[in-house]
Structure formats: structure tokens, C-alpha cells
């Protein structure tokens, strides 16, 4: 049974900061946001976690393997090196949406994202070491079949982007409402989905749903593990099997 630990990473008072005393150069905001995300990816990733950029001022991470002390250190390090600070809400649940809802509430109860006085909150609980299992995380790695041949080498780059985006949007909504899962576009034609205990039939259904709704053809590799990296790396290998064998769904167990 999955037991996903989710962290909501929220930049404190970011909207106001970006326009005080005056609006800031957009290229600099993009650089700041991306590099902050990259740093969090290295910190979390080195402990077996995954973080997704989501909206950049609000990022969602799967942090099985990170303790509250680890979260505190991340906060301190960012506070030492950036002109902004982070608030972190941590929660767990048998399904990822439930865990994220709890993590979000932790921060909402502490104060508004644009509350001048709310800074560097650290709320919630991590899974105790003794309670962690090899089934805690289930990750599904989807990609578009032959995106390069069908889109990248054929359409203009924005129309390719629209196609990929439509596939992502349809999958994202379906997985959230039908399966309490969180889906994230991670570049190229790849979407990583954080799932509860789903089965092969659930993934086949998701693929058919997207194909019928927006005519985008996906394949998927699925893995399980104690951490997001363990599950996700197994999922990547399963996806290679799809590519090699021409199958649509491969579970790495």
C-alpha cells in the first residue's frame, strides 16, 4: 500500500516581492525561479526525492526519505543564498492527492502565501524510518509515442507544444479525478505521475481515455519503491521496455 510523503514548497510573499519597489526584469525572475527549482531538485534528489516545478512559486515534491530536519536544512540553505524564503508543509497519505491536501492545509493554516508576516513556516510530519516500506511510492512515467517523428520534426515548435500540452492536460485531470494521482510535465514529451496503488488496467484505461479525448498516443512505464527515485528509476526502465517491445503499458514488478 502506498504511503506518499508530499511536501508543498511555497515561496513566501513572492507576488509582492516581484513588483516591490518596482516590477523586476522578467528574464531575472525566470532565472531566479529556475535556479531555485534546480537547487531544490538537487537537495531533494540526493535523498531519493523528486520535486516538480509546478507553478515555481509553489512546487510539489515527493519526499519519502527526507526528515523534518532535512526540510529545515533546505529552508536554511535557501534563506542564506536567495533574496526570498520558503515555507514548507509536509504530510503523508495513502493517496498522493490526500497527502498534498494535508500539506497545503498546514501552510494555509499558518497564514496566506502573501502574508507579510508569514515567513519560513515548517509544518507537518515525515514518515518515521521504522514505518517505511518498499511499496510507499508508485511512479508512472508516460511519454508520447514517437513525438519526434510525429510532431517535433513535422509541426512548428508551438503547435508541437500545443499537442503535448493537450495530452498532458487531459491525462492530468483524468489521473487526479479518477485516481487521486498528481501528474507533472517534466520536459520533452514526458509526464511523471505520482500514484496510489493502481493496476495495469488503470493505466490502460488512462491511455485510452487520452487517445479518445485528444488523439495523443501515450505509453507508460510504472515502478514502485521506498522513495520517488527508486520508483521512478524502475518506471524509466519499464518505459524503455515499452520502446523496445512496442507495448503501451509496462509494470516493473
Q: Which of 43, 171, 250, 251 binds its own copies (CB under 8 A)?
A: 43
215 binds its own copies (CB under 8 A): no
Q: Which residues pair with 192 in a beta bridge?
A: 141, 184
Cβ nearer to its own copies, comparing 58 with 217? 58
Beta carbons of 231 and 220 less than 8 angstroms apart? no
| Euclidean distance between CA atoms 180 and 195, whole angstroms | 7
142 binds its own copies (CB under 8 A): no
150 binds its own copies (CB under 8 A): no
Residues in contact with its own copies, total (CB under 8 A)? 85
Q: Which of 45, 132, 145, 217 binds its own copies (CB under 8 A)?
A: 45
The minimum distance between CB 203 and its own copies, in angstroms, equals 19
162 binds its own copies (CB under 8 A): yes
Residue with cell 514529451: 189
The minimum distance between CB 207 and its own copies, in angstroms, equals 20
148 binds its own copies (CB under 8 A): yes
Which 8-state DSSP code applies to residue 49? -
Cβ nearer to its own copies, comparing 57 with 136? 57
Binders of its own copies in range 174-213 (CB under 8 A): 176, 182, 186-189, 192
| Euclidean distance between CA atoms 141 and 134, whole angstroms | 18
Residue 241: burial class (beta carbons within 10 Å; 0-12, 13-18, 19+): middle
Helices (H) and strands (E) in the chain, counts: 8, 10
User: Cα 79–80–86 angle (5° rounding)?
Assistant: 10
126 binds its own copies (CB under 8 A): no
* Contact range with its own copies by CB under 8 A, out of 55-63, 126-134, 202-210, 245-253: 55-63
Cβ nearer to its own copies, comparing 46 with 204? 46
Cβ nearer to its own copies, comparing 127 with 175? 175
Helix (H), strand (E) at residue 43? helix 26-45
Pick from 172, 217, 148, 179: which is nearest to 54 by CA?
172
Amino acid at each position: 500500500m502506498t504511503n506518499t510523503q508530499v511536501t508543498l514548497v511555497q515561496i513566501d510573499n513572492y507576488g509582492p516581492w516581484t513588483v516591490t519597489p518596482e516590477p523586476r526584469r522578467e528574464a531575472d525572475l525566470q532565472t531566479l525561479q529556475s535556479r531555485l527549482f534546480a537547487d531544490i531538485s538537487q537537495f531533494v534528489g540526493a535523498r531519493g526525492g523528486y520535486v516538480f516545478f509546478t507553478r515555481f512559486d509553489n512546487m510539489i515534491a515527493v519526499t519519502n526519505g527526507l526528515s523534518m530536519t532535512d526540510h529545515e536544512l533546505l529552508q536554511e540553505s535557501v534563506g542564506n543564498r536567495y533574496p526570498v524564503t520558503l515555507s514548507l508543509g509536509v504530510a503523508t497519505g495513502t493517496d498522493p492527492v490526500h497527502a498534498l491536501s494535508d500539506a497545503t492545509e498546514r501552510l494555509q493554516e499558518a497564514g496566506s502565501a502573501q502574508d507579510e508576516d508569514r515567513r519560513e513556516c515548517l509544518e507537518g510530519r515525515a514518515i518515521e524510518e521504522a514505518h517505511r516500506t518498499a511499496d510507499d511510492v508508485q511512479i508512472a512515467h508516460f511519454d508520447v509515442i514517437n513525438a519526434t517523428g510525429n510532431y517535433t520534426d513535422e509541426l512548428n515548435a508551438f503547435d508541437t507544444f500545443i499537442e503535448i500540452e493537450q495530452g498532458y492536460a487531459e491525462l492530468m485531470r483524468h489521473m487526479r479525478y479518477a485516481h487521486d494521482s498528481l501528474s507533472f510535465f517534466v520536459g520533452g514529451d514526458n509526464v511523471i505521475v505520482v500514484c496510489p496503488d493502481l493496476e495495469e488496467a488503470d493505466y490502460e484505461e488512462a491511455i485510452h481515455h487520452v487517445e479518445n479525448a485528444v488523439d495523443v498516443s501515450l505509453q507508460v512505464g510504472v515502478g514502485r519503491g521506498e522513495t520517488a527515485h527508486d520508483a521512478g528509476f524502475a518506471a524509466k526502465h519499464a518505459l524503455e521496455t515499452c520502446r523496445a517491445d512496442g507495448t503501451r503499458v509496462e509494470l516493473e514488478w
